[in-house]
Structure 1
Amino acid sequence: MANDGPRERKPQKVVPSKAASTSNEKKKGSEVTFVPTPEARLKDLAADTHSHWEFGGPVGVTAMMTGFPCLMFYLWTCLWFYQGRFIRPESIEDIRPFLNRIGNHIYEDAYPTAFAFKMYLGLMAFQLIIAFLMPGKIQKGLPVPSLDYKTLTYRCNALYCCYFTLVVSSTLHLTGLFDLTQIIDHFGELMSVSMIVGFALSFLVYFGAIFFHWGGKPIRMSGWPVYDFFMGASLNPQIFNIDLKMWQEVRIPWVLLFHIAISAALKQYQTIGYVTPNLAFMVLATGLYLNACAKGEECIPQTIDMFYEKDGFMLTFWNFAGVPFTYSYSIVYLHRTDPSAYKLSTAAMTGVYCLLLLSYYIFDTAMSQKSNFRMELQNEFVPRDAFPQLPWRRVKNPKYIETKHGNKLLISGWWGFLRKPNYTADLIQSFTWGLCTGWSSPIAYYYVVWFTIVLMQRCSRDFAKCRAKYGEDWDRYCKAVPYTFIPGLF
């Protein structure tokens, strides 16, 4: 397999800040220790203190925590019973009967049964056990200001766990011990269970942080419990030395989403004797994303989710319920709709496949480029040959802007064209998940619509933090890389 190159190679071409400190890193043997300037410490302290509301403050987050589960039930009803059409009351007098019809659908087909709890909690327990037992690369994260710039270590064994999970699930299906088609058959029940688990774990982590400082001392607290519950209280809760945020970001949502696609494909084969190219596309798309998350788990400690975002309802509910049971809407539509309704021409279907593979290539290599750059700066880069290793996954002699804060902003590779090339590629991938269903149901395009809103909001938050953190150095970076999503346009 391809190799990432020698360990000792470091970034060489530097675009220094005129006012940058002479050295913000100290070496201890092979270890690089980050030492912030006094000015940087003050900025980081300010960033770790609550100063403004996000997501509309207490009112906004309350609306999201109550509204999103309702939206999930509504869209599921539209897909499961009405061929993906938006449904509404026929008149004012029909409002109560309309709500009763939806309630009956939920009670009859989405009631959280004991069997659904066994499936979902069984998956959680299995993923936790193998995460604890499987070998993996030990990866350091970025310096965490709230921990006095300590770098936490993470065991990155998602790839081993992922492949082992596939072996186990295949064995269970082939031996008849557990028919994988039961996942799609009990989709509604599993969705309800996932929401219950998402809320329960959010409460557990929040009160654990408040009363026992689980995951560290609470930071950026607003004083409004509903808002702090949504945003989170602690930064790094762990279970048996397993980082809960990183574990829940990969092990549950994407493993479950891939198995939902596999389950639907198996069910379709049992029902009509073949798997349509459209549903096969979703198996490929979800499989690629699962493998990318597992293969690139070592990149996660370098992300904002790990060193800044707290573990609150926002992350927990979304990973346990939102990702597997809303990103799968195109799968549910293909499962519940006659293939004649979404059949595409060979040329169109081929184009969708090609667009997926191209966008995946950009996504994978962009994430690798930034992660490898950061690991090289910490002297933590170790070549890996996890499949697939794609060309241009690592930039040789990268250029970067050195800031007064001490951090370095990459301006080479994909990151020399755009500030968020990974987001652009991710959005294109999500668009193909809708394209494969044709144009019959707008709900099949939920993923790309929702993802666009999320990434736009995330960019706004990220850029605001960077401007406050880097000041004039951020202006220099924006001048060097003027576009965010589309070269020459935006």
Structure 2
Amino acid sequence: MASHKYEFFGPPGAFVVTTSISIITYLTYFLLTPSGSPPPAFLSSPLTYLQTALSTSSLFHLPTLALFLAYFGFTVLLQYILPGPLVPGVVLANGKHNLYKLNALYTSLTIFSLLAGATLFFGGANWVGWVYLWDHHLHLITALNLFCISLSTFLYIYSLRPGPHLLAEGGTSPSPLFNWFIGRELNPRPLLSFLDLKSFCELRPGLTLWIILNISNTMHQLRTTGSITDSMILVNLFQGWYVLDSHFHEPAVLTTMDITTDGFGHMLVFGDLAWLPITYSIQTRYLALNPVHLGPLGVLSVLAINGLGYYIFRASNSQKNLFRTNPSDPKVAHLKTLQTKRGTKLLISGWWGTSRHINYLGDWVMAWAWCLPTGFGTPLTYFYVVYFAILLLHRERRDDEACERKYGEDWGVYRRIVRWRIMPGVY
């Protein structure tokens, strides 16, 4: 057992992470209130406040669980019936590549169009759908937790089936708990041959649900105050654009570490389907309870920050994806590269000559633009900035270790050429 190199401090770490991320999703509900975030009662006696809140709250609601299952099933159906090209992924460790049906943008546009139609037809902000989502937010958190645990367990059991299937390197440890958490199988496809559950969950149900929750929170603000603040509009625009942009550039996800290297276990399942929609919508939920008005100068400042972050993020990611898929394209053919003994080339100029993960910097700058519209009345809405920084630092370390194993001495040469990890001149 000692010979296996664990991430997250092994099985104990997997247990702590699994437990803590679930608890945090509930805390986002109980600590965001109109009387303070966190409320004064929590600050004076945290345990007493949480015990009282739990004892007076209904955590489980079967119709809400059924609603999420129907929503998840509907996204699967749209993946099947909507048009989309079958695109090959990267060559994997077994020398083969998988095919992926790409229609995430069509899926999200279909869902948003149906919701827009229902909203206009059935009464705007007072439509029962938006009211239900707001009133049953706590029940939705429980539904997502239960679904993620169930799906992770199914995936683990499914990965034990006989016959050839590609396992992830990190998911073959001696610990069943750790393998359940990190994921045994690389690309499970238990339903349809083109439906890779990992890439499906990465881009579809959770990301779209994030925006649905944002809209629900916006409708609550409109319903209770009679207007929508400029801060709420900005956060919705930024995050909505981020999701639609991710769906538009769906092919780029096929070359990410999540798809090519990581197994599909509870870490990614929960991150995609529960953590993302619940914690990433904190800003709009806070603004629904505590409206903030930015004014023209505030709006322009936040727009500039988001524009800078998006430019760095999208331009660098597009350059990398184009280089990987069509290195002879004039847009990237002139870039300097380092030839490796593996036969592949590493970019050492352009965006990727400034730092090894310049895209992470753009992503983090955008995170500030999503949080600043909430003002400075609470630190909780800046949870995303702090968490995301930790996530990016950890992801960079994981990627660096994986590349060192992959490229050997060439990676040391590359690191001496491209010195900075994320932020040029700083880190």
TM-score with structure 1 setting the length: 0.80
Q: Could you tell me how far apart the structure 2 residues matched to 1:81 and 1:207 are?
A: 44
Alignment match, 2:237:
284
Does 62-71 or 175-184 show the bigger shift? 175-184
Alignment match, 1:41:
none
Q: Could you tell me how far apart the structure 1 residues matched to 2:407 and 2:165 are?
A: 28
| Matching residue within 203, 206, 230 for 2:156 | 206
- AA aligned to 1:59 is P
- AA aligned to 2:228 is V
Instruction: Give the 3 Å change call, closer, same or farther, for CA 218–451 of structure 1 in structure 2.
Output: closer
Q: Could you tell me how far apart the structure 2 residues matched to 1:473 and 1:54 are?
A: 24
1:266 CA displacement: 2.1
Instruction: Give the 3 Å change call, closer, same or farther, for CA 223–179 of structure 1 in structure 2.
Output: same
How many residue pairs were aligned? 419
- Give 1:296-445 correspondences, 5 Å limit: 296-337=249-290, 339=291, 342-377=292-327, 394-445=331-382
Q: Could you tell me how far apart the structure 2 residues matched to 1:327 and 1:192 are?
A: 17
Q: Could you tell me how far apart the structure 1 residues matched to 2:206 and 2:134 are?
A: 15
1:413 CA displacement: 2.7
Question: Which structure 2 segments of 5+ residues have no match?
Answer: none
Instruction: Give the 3 Å change call, closer, same or farther, for CA 351–103 of structure 1 in structure 2.
Output: same
Alignment match, 1:235:
186
1:315 CA displacement: 0.2
Contact 2:101 2:195 in 1 (8 A): yes
User: Equivalent residue of 2:32, what SS?
Assistant: helix
- Give 1:115-264 correspondences, 5 Å limit: 115-145=63-93, 148-176=94-122, 179-212=129-162, 216-217=166-167, 219-220=169-170, 221-238=172-189, 239-240=191-192, 241-264=194-217
- AA aligned to 1:170 is A
User: Equivalent residue of 1:253, what SS?
Assistant: helix
- AA aligned to 2:296 is T
Contact 1:254 1:286 in 2 (8 A): no
Instruction: Give the 3 Å change call, closer, same or farther, for CA 217–68 of structure 1 in structure 2.
Output: closer
Contact 2:168 2:262 in 1 (8 A): no
Q: What RMSD over aligned residues (CA atoms) do the two structures have, in Å? A: 2.3
Instruction: Give the 3 Å change call, closer, same or farther, for CA 453–86 of structure 1 in structure 2.
Output: farther
Q: Could you tell me how far apart the structure 2 residues matched to 1:165 and 1:208 are?
A: 30
Contact 1:139 1:301 in 2 (8 A): no
Instruction: Give the 3 Å change call, closer, same or farther, for CA 212–439 of structure 1 in structure 2.
Output: farther
Please tell me whether Structure 1 or Structure 2 has the larger radius of gyration of its CA atoms: 1
1:278 CA displacement: 0.7
- AA aligned to 1:191 is I
Question: Of the two structures, which has the highest relative contact order with CA contacts closer than 8 Å and spacing of 6 or more?
Answer: 1
- AA aligned to 2:304 is C
Identity %: 29
1:269 CA displacement: 1.9
Does 358-367 or 121-130 show the bigger shift? 358-367
1:218 CA displacement: 6.5
Contact 1:112 1:193 in 2 (8 A): yes
Q: Could you tell me how far apart the structure 1 residues matched to 2:168 and 2:397 are?
A: 24
Instruction: Give the 3 Å change call, closer, same or farther, for CA 189–80 of structure 1 in structure 2.
Output: farther
Cα-to-partner distance string for 1:203-225 (whole Å, 9 max, x where unaligned): 01111102356964565411111
Alignment match, 2:53:
102
Instruction: Give the 3 Å change call, closer, same or farther, for CA 218–299 of structure 1 in structure 2.
Output: closer
Contact 1:231 1:310 in 2 (8 A): yes
1:192 CA displacement: 1.4
Q: Could you tell me how far apart the structure 2 residues matched to 1:421 and 1:355 are?
A: 16
Alignment match, 1:23:
none
Instruction: Give the 3 Å change call, closer, same or farther, for CA 90–409 of structure 1 in structure 2.
Output: closer
Q: Could you tell me how far apart the structure 2 residues matched to 1:116 and 1:292 are?
A: 29
Alignment match, 1:456:
393
Q: Which has the higher helix share?
A: 2
Q: Could you tell me how far apart the structure 2 residues matched to 1:322 and 1:415 are?
A: 30
Cα-to-partner distance string for 1:145-164 (whole Å, 9 max, x where unaligned): 1xx22121211111111211
- AA aligned to 1:261 is N
1:414 CA displacement: 1.4
User: Equivalent residue of 1:139, what SS?
Assistant: strand
TM-score with structure 2 setting the length: 0.92
- AA aligned to 1:296 is H
Alignment match, 1:486:
423
Does 67-76 or 238-247 show the bigger shift? 67-76
